[in-house]
Structures are given as C-alpha cells and as structure tokens.
Amino acid sequence: MKKNNRFENKKVLVLGLALSGLNAAKLLLELGAMVTVNDAKDLADNPDAKELISYGIKVIAGSHPVELLDESFSFMVKNPGIPYNNPMVKRALEIGIPVLTEVELASEILEGRLIGVTGTNGKTTTTTMITDLLNYGRKQGKAYKAGNIGVPASAVARKATADDDVVMELSSFQLMGIQDMHPAIAVITNITEAHLDYHGDREEYVKAKWRITENQTADDYLVLNWDQEELRELSKHSKAQIVPFSRSQTVANGAYLADGYLYFRGEKVMAATDLKVPGEHNIENALAAIAVAKLSGVSNEAIIAAFAVFYGVEHRIQFVAELNGRRFYNDSKATNILATKTALNSFQGPIILLAGGLDRGNTFEELVPYLKHVKTLIVFGETQEKLIDAGKKAGIKEIVPTEDVVSAVPISYQYSEEGDTILLSPACASWDQFKNYEIRGQLFSDAVNSLVTAKSEEEGSFH
C-alpha cells in the first residue's frame, strides 16, 4: 500500500455503507482519518454499521441528517449508488467539501498498475478475461479483479504490491466521482443508453464514461470499440495512445477479427472458434482483453491457454454442463429484455428458453423477433402469461408453464434433442421468487448438475 498522508487527522464522512462504504471506512481509519459513517439503514438491521462501531468509528444510522455536515468535514466519500442530487451530497458540494468515491480513494494508495474497464455492456466479462489472461503463466506478481465487479477496490488496493495489476471494473456512477484516478490502460467496451434516471440524459452518461481517460497521458493506452462511430469521434479528445478493437474491420494498431481469427497489430493470435463463450459480443470482449494482454507482454500461447478454460462469468451466458448432446447455459443475469436478446443472438441452433420473473408492467413484444430459434419456451414467475403471449406471437409450438427455475430444468431436458441449447435467460428480475439473480442462477446450475448426475447413474445401471 502506497503511503498517503492526505487523510491523516482529517474528519471524513462516509455516506452509505454496503461493501464499498464498509471498506472505505476501514481504509480511512488505517490512513489516520477521523471517520464518521452515515447510513440510511437502521442500526438494528445493520451488521456493517455494528462492525464499524466495534472499531471505534462513529456511526449515524437510520437517516441522512443534512445538519451532520455542520461538523467541519474535510472530505466526503460516498457510495456510488447515491446520486449527486441527494440532499447530503448537494449540500457538501455547496459548502466546498470534496466528494470522493471509494475507487478514487483506492487509486490513491495503489502501488501496482491500474487497468480500468468501463462500458454499458461487457464490463464484467472483459474485466474477468483481462485478469485471467494477465495471470496465466505469470512469474511475478498477480492481477486482481476489483471495483464494480463486486470486489471492493479499497480492499484490493490495500494488499496489492508494485508487482501487481488491479483490473478495475468502473461504472458510470463510480467514474463521476474521480478526481486524480489515472489508469495506465483504460478500456471502453461500448456505449449505449443506460442509467438515464441517475444521469439525467445521455450526454451526461457519456461524459461520465469518458472520465476514465481524462487524467491519462501520452504514456498511457486507451483501448476502445472502433465499431462505434461515437467512440471514434471521442477518441480525438484523449491524450492517451489509442488502441482500437473491431469485429468488422482491420485496425492496424489494434485488435480485430478477420477470416475467423483474432489478430493484434497484424499478428494472428488465435481462432475465434477457440473461444468457449458464445456470441459476437464475446468476440468484442475477447478482442479488448487481447489488446490489454498484448500491451502487457502476454504471449499468444498464454492467451490461447487462458481462453481454453474460460467458460464465462457466473450467471452471464455461463456454460454449465453438457448432457447427451444438450448444452446448458446460465444467463440469470439477464434481468431485462435487452440482455435476453443478446443471449438469444449468441446461438445458431435450436434453443429451449427458460424465462420469467418479476412483472415490472412491460410487455415482451420486442422480444418476439428474437425468438425465431426457440423451439420450446418454458415460463415461470409473475410474467408467465405475458411470455406465453409473446411465445404464441413468435409461433412457438411448445410453450410450457411451470412453477420455478428448478422444475423447469427436467422439463427442458424432456423437450430437448441432441444438438439443442438449453438456456436460462429470464428477461426479468428475480425478486418475485428470489432475493437476487445469483440465487436464481445457482439453483438452475445446481438443478442441471443434479440432472446430469441422475442421468449418468440411470444410464450406468443399464450396463
């Protein structure tokens, strides 16, 4: 951990807990700050707050009293989920208190190299790919995943050494709060429209994403999607060396797909068919990851070997198992229609689709054209009837309602044939039946593995 006296004997308010706030508070305490934590959740149901109290940190829980800011704080570190129009944040900025986020705090003490990854889609997969490629056969140091991927950046920065890399997934919420953060390599996977409720409009959202490169210099690299005209135009405003990646054209200074192979700067790296994760979007993710790996001196052999065992990020079109020629995929993270469209576009052959969940009031009309390869639709949850309507409009002959994702697994096998893809891609949030999409995805994977075991035992008994 890099020595940092900036917060020593300074009063710092941590606004909002969860993983990022909890770890920010611990780090600030270690850096000699006088820490106060303010969290909206009542103390009785707040184990994180209780833990911090045990360290001697002052905690105000249950509400966000604006008058707390009268206590002469030198800094505020806010949870990225708290918007800038929050009364506490607005007041802090009005009276001149610098508002930081946990990733900025982490970058200030980080000794190793920082690689930042942002974009609307593909951040988590690309972050994971880069980490795996940088670690394969590595002789010195280690690459760590951190940030929006669910691993607090401040916890990783505390343990990373000068020999290590920290590959940090950065959301637009986190990037809005940076001041001096400076990735040696920044990656932008793509930019589409998202989080407009938080940012107000698309222009502000794009500005937030673009902040990943604002502190970069001519010694740094910016890896970005050259198939997006918007990013090509924006690249003119970065001081970093531009390293493009493209699925549709040869880019001399970057990574690209040509004749079924992935290249970097004219050198053939690997066959696209060697990727174990399906879909054109994953070719883009792989190209971005290859660009970072090659800029870091990773050999083609190591890249090929690392991708040979990369089966995707958990719950994101993740390969689970193959049973008698049927391949099962867990895409529980598809909590909206757009994500399910992407998943359906990732496969060419017949699909058995498992879908359904929380009813947010929308229809599934826009999903209908994407159901052309779906031969059987198995539906569950609050949106069952709406998905049945969409399936009928798409001309799907076999539509089967069932209780939940677990009961859907044996049904999917029953309706499948050799060569079929069985895909859980719900197009809905999980909260009608489960606490989160991870639990839903895990139950699906467990049910698939139980089915594989049962079928193996059943077939073994005939020999």
**Which residues are annotated binding-site positions for ATP?**
119-125
**Known binding site: residues?**
119-125
**Cα–Cα dist 157/12, whole Å:** 19
**Cα–Cα dist 183/292, whole Å:** 12
3-state SS track over the chain: CCCCCCCCCCEEEEECCHHHHHHHHHHHHHCCCEEEEEECCCHHHCHHHHHHHHCCCEEEECCCCHHHHHHCCCEEEECCCCCCCCHHHHHHHHCCCCEEEHHHHHHHHCCCEEEEEECCCCHHHHHHHHHHHHHCCCCCCCEEEEECCCECHHHHHHHCCCCCEEEEECCHHHHCCCCCCCCCEEEECCCCCCCHHHHCCHHHHHHHHHHHHCCCCCCCEEEEECCCHHHHHHHHHCCCEEEEEECCCCCCCCEEEECCEEEECCEEEEEHHHCCCCCHHHHHHHHHHHHHHHHCCCCHHHHHHHHHCCCCCCCCCEEEEEECCEEEEECCCCCCHHHHHHHHCCCCCCEEEEECCCCCCCCCHHHHHHHCCEEEEEECCCCHHHHHHHHHHCCCCEEEECCCHHHHHHHHHHCCCCCCEEEECCCCCCCCCCCCHHHHHHHHHHHHHHHHHHHHHHHHCCC
